[in-house]
Amino acid sequence: MIKCFCFFIVVLQSLIFVSGFKCEFEKSTVLEHQYICRTLPASSEIIETHLLEKTDNDVNNVVFNGTVHAKSHFAASDFQFNERFPNLSSIYVYGVSTIDENAFQKYEHLDEIWITDTDIEDLPEKLFSSCTKLTAILITDNKIKTLPENIFVNNQELTYLRLDNNQINYLPPNIFKSLINLEMLFLEENNLQTLHPALFESLGKLTSINLYSNKITDLPKNIFSSLENKKQIYLGDNQLTTIHSDSFGNIERKTEIRFNNNKIIAIDEKLIDDTDISMIDMTNNICSQELIEIRIQIKEKLRKCFDNYKPREVLKLFWTHSKIIMD
């Protein structure tokens, strides 16, 4: 008799567990062929119905909105999306304030994680460490100030990383070290003032980098030198005053550089002589106000900027060298 009773409890528990959330199913409007479960609390009055000819196996994306669940903390153990949807490729998390270190631990096959529109200020170091197949991470519109140095250490497959629209004021020097396949990096709308000289050193495959709308005053020597296939560098809406060619290294392919809305008074002429820059946006600067889209016009239109140019201060260089030696 007692045995039977226990069995009953176990069955009941697993029923509750399986029905821990409900889905509102929909086709993605953004990504073709993607089929989404927008999670709802189990108590919701909505009756689940798949779209025509679709099943749980077709679900690619799960959207978790903390506001809808009245939950400010996201922990995967509450939901077990992977047990229900064998073909899950991405998870979107919105509207929470904290996220569990193990939140994505069981999702080794995920392609994409989105953490957006949240009040999150910090992310745990191990958050993505089991998700070694990720190709895209989007951490946008949150309140993040900095990230742990090893947060992406196991994400070598990553090609797309968005960290824009946060409050990032510091990035540890090795944070992107493992991201040898990264092609696009979005850091716009943050509070970055300085960039560590080695920050982008491992990003040999990066073609596009966006640093628009930060507070950057100076670009260190060689900061973009290892980006071998650079095509777009966006530096608009910062506090740059002098552009040194040694920040950029070789530019062999057609590259667009946007410096609009800075306070630029001087540019090293070598930046143009030694490179294949196809477009420079100087709108709203001091020595030039122009968007120059024709390569042969660049030299003539930036004459005033070139004339103002002085190389990096010798004293500063000496100090940097002695610091490196001391280190």
Ligand X SMILES: *[C@@H]1O[C@H](CO)[C@@H](O)[C@H](O)[C@H]1NC(C)=O
Q: Which residues bind ligand X (CB under 6 A)?
A: 57-58, 65, 67-68, 86-87, 94-95, 117
Residue 291 beta carbon to ligand X: minimum distance, rounded to whole angstroms: 35
Sign for the pseudo-dihedral over CA of 147, 192, 168, 183: negative
Quick one: 19 or 57, whose CB is closer to ligand X?
57
Quick one: 14 or 67, whose CB is closer to ligand X?
67
Quick one: 114 or 248, whose CB is closer to ligand X?
114
Residue 104 beta carbon to ligand X: minimum distance, rounded to whole angstroms: 19
Instruction: Could you list the beta-strand ranges (E) of the chain.
Output: 21-27, 35-41, 61-65, 73-74, 90-94, 98-99, 112-116, 136-140, 160-162, 184-186, 208-210, 232-234, 242-243, 255-258, 266-267, 277-281, 291-292
Quick one: 33 or 323, whose CB is closer to ligand X?
33
Residue 131 beta carbon to ligand X: minimum distance, rounded to whole angstroms: 19
Instruction: Identify whether the C-beta of residue 295 lies closer than 8 Å to the C-beta of residue 278.
Output: yes
Residue 181 beta carbon to ligand X: minimum distance, rounded to whole angstroms: 24
**Owner of token pair 């103002």:** 308
Residue 134 beta carbon to ligand X: minimum distance, rounded to whole angstroms: 18
CA atoms within 13 A on the CB side of 196: 15
Quick one: 65 or 283, whose CB is closer to ligand X?
65
Residue 63 beta carbon to ligand X: minimum distance, rounded to whole angstroms: 7
Instruction: Identify whether the C-beta of residue 318 lies closer than 8 Å to the C-beta of residue 227.
Output: no
Instruction: Identify whether the C-beta of residue 167 lies closer than 8 Å to the C-beta of residue 143.
Output: yes
Residue 310 beta carbon to ligand X: minimum distance, rounded to whole angstroms: 49
Quick one: 140 or 261, whose CB is closer to ligand X?
140
Shortest CA distance to 143 belongs to which of 81, 98, 88, 80?
98
Integer CA distances (angstroms), 281 to 252, 291, 297, in order: 19, 4, 12
Note the maximum CA span of the chain: 95
Quick one: 117 or 281, whose CB is closer to ligand X?
117
